[in-house]
């Protein structure tokens, strides 16, 4: 049993909280219209830094497993995320992406043998409704490609979370995080060059933004995220991702002066309630009565003690 579960939950929750600051940093510090470049510069330098620190490369099957996990958790996910962000209003993209916990619940049942619970289903549906109220606008116009990209991003990220739990890593946390960041960055870099061209000249402000996204938003946040996946169930971890749009909304209100409506407050409370509900555990039965050491059962009989000396059970 995890000894310090609350602390692990709080540390893991820091990852989506940090990711919630990405929108603010991108709009205020980075060059405009360079989302794939931002994703590549966020992942690749951070991954190389972790490889330099750990001096550990994959071995055996972990060469291809790192490729798969890096593509799912970082490379393909971020590419689809930015396609969705370009073709959909941000609120609609976030709402579609909030189906990820529901997908993780289903994949955990199928691949990890976890038990499906009504609590997880209610929390997942509440999370979708909460994020929708928090960020979705009435004038949002759907786009088929954007919807497909947002849904695809949720699918690949959910798959990455579950496979990260299924495949026991052969190395330390920072090394495995570095492998995935390098893989994801190498997938994103040529895509960014083809779609957006070479990066423009960077200002000190731009470098500060990329530095934050790389060191804090990638190296630190992904290490905390993968640490949480190791210690907790994928279902518990994925619901913490609902904190990302919540933090983004709060930062927009605090730093950019964006207003908050009553429905948004209701949505935030619903999303936060879903996160809390997903982390609760049902009460377990107390320990079974202990049989005294001097009493032994005879062969063929469940108990050799007289009837009036038995420890009372629920059947009594």
Which residue range forms the structural domain that includes residue 54?
5-281
The alpha carbon of residue 293 and the mean position of all alpha carbons in its chain are separated, in whole angstroms, by 48
How high is the pLDDT of residue 142? 77
Q: Judge whether 91 lies within some domain.
A: yes
Among the listed residues 26, 58, 61, 79, the one whose alpha carbon sits nearest the alpha carbon of residue 182: 58
How high is the pLDDT of residue 24? 87
Q: Judge whether 97 lies within some domain.
A: yes
Q: Judge whether 163 lies within some domain.
A: yes
How high is the pLDDT of residue 290? 47
How high is the pLDDT of residue 303? 43
How high is the pLDDT of residue 112? 93
Tally of domains within the chain: 1
What angle (nearest 5°) sits at the alpha carbon of residue 91, between those of residues 239 and 25?
A: 80
Rg for the chain, CA atoms, rounded: 24
Q: Judge whether 80 lies within some domain.
A: yes
How high is the pLDDT of residue 312? 39
- Dump pLDDT digits (tens) for 101-149: 999 999 999 999 999 999 999 999 999 999 999 888 766 677 889 899 9
Q: Judge whether 184 lies within some domain.
A: yes
How high is the pLDDT of residue 188? 95
Q: Judge whether 292 lies within some domain.
A: no
CA pair distance 289, 174, nearest whole angstrom: 45
3-class SS at 301?
Answer: coil
What angle (nearest 5°) sits at the alpha carbon of residue 135, between those of residues 129 and 139?
A: 105
Residues with pLDDT less than 70, the chain: 1-3, 90, 138-140, 282-316
Q: Judge whether 17 lies within some domain.
A: yes
How high is the pLDDT of residue 289? 46
Q: Judge whether 25 lies within some domain.
A: yes
How high is the pLDDT of residue 310? 39
| CA distances in angstroms from 49 to 16, 191, 291, listed in the order given | 21, 22, 58
pTM: 0.83
How high is the pLDDT of residue 313? 39
């Amino acid at each position: 049993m995890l000894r310090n579960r609350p602390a692990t939950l709080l540390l893991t929750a820091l990852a989506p909280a940090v990711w919630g600051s990405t929108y603010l940093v991108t709009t205020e510090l980075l060059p405009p219209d360079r989302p794939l470049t931002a994703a590549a510069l966020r992942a690749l330098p951070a991954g190389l830094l972790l490889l330099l620190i750990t001096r550990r490369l994959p071995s055996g099957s972990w060469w291809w497993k790192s490729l798969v996990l890096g593509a799912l958790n970082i490379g393909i996910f971020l590419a689809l995320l930015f396609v969705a962000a370009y073709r959909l209003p941000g609120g609609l993209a976030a709402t579609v992406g909030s189906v990820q916990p529901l997908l993780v619940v289903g994949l955990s049942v199928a691949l990890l043998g976890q038990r499906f619970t009504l609590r997880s289903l209610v929390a997942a549906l509440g999370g979708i409704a909460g994020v929708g109220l928090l960020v979705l606008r009435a004038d949002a116009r759907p786009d088929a490609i954007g919807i497909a990209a947002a849904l695809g991003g949720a699918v690949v990220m959910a798959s990455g979370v579950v496979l990260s739990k299924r495949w026991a890593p052969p190395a330390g946390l920072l090394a495995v995080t570095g492998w995935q960041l390098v893989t994801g960055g190498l997938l994103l870099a040529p895509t960014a060059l083809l779609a957006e061209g070479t990066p423009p000249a960077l200002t000190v402000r731009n470098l500060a933004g990329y530095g934050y996204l790389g060191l804090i938003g990638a190296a630190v946040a992904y290490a905390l995220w993968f640490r949480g996946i190791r210690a907790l169930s994928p279902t518990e971890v994925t619901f913490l991702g609902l904190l990302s749009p919540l933090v983004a909304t709060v930062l927009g209100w605090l730093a950019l002066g964006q207003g908050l409506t009553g429905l948004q407050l209701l949505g935030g409370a619903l999303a936060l309630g879903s996160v809390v509900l997903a982390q609760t555990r049902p009460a377990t039965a107390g320990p079974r009565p202990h049989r005294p050491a001097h009493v032994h059962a005879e062969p063929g009989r469940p108990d050799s003690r007289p009837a009036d000396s038995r420890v009372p059970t629920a059947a009594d």
